[in-house]
Amino acid sequence: MARLLGPDSVPAGSGLYNALSGSTLTFVSGTMDGSVVTVDLSGELRQGGVCDSPRIEAQLTQTAVAAAGAVRAEIRIGGRPLTELLEQRAS
């Protein structure tokens, strides 16, 4: 999670894209309840456009699921669900 949220280290010309590169998010905590991992982040979520919403959701949830060995991830930023924040930005 730290690498995903850290400074953008995607090599130019690699074809890779980090939709979180403009955000200032920091890992606060992570907890596991059964097969669900909950990750709390702080900071500001910034996206380049509405096309970044699914990328941001996928990058955060898939990283959390893989790191914790979970089936599902719930991501919160400043205590608010990621899906709620992304829906507001898409409007």
Chain segment 19-62, per-residue pLDDT in tens: 888 899 999 999 999 999 999 999 999 988 778 999 999 999 99
In a domain, 17, yes or no: no
pLDDT value of position 89: 61
Residue 75 has pLDDT above 90, yes or no: yes
In a domain, 86, yes or no: yes
Mean pLDDT of 68-85: 96
The DSSP bridge partners found for residue 10 are none
pLDDT value of position 72: 97
* Average pLDDT for the chain: 89
In a domain, 14, yes or no: no
- Cα(8)–Cα(14) distance, rounded to whole angstroms? 13
In a domain, 62, yes or no: yes
Q: How many domains does the chain have?
A: 1
Q: 82 lies in which domain range?
A: 2-6+23-90
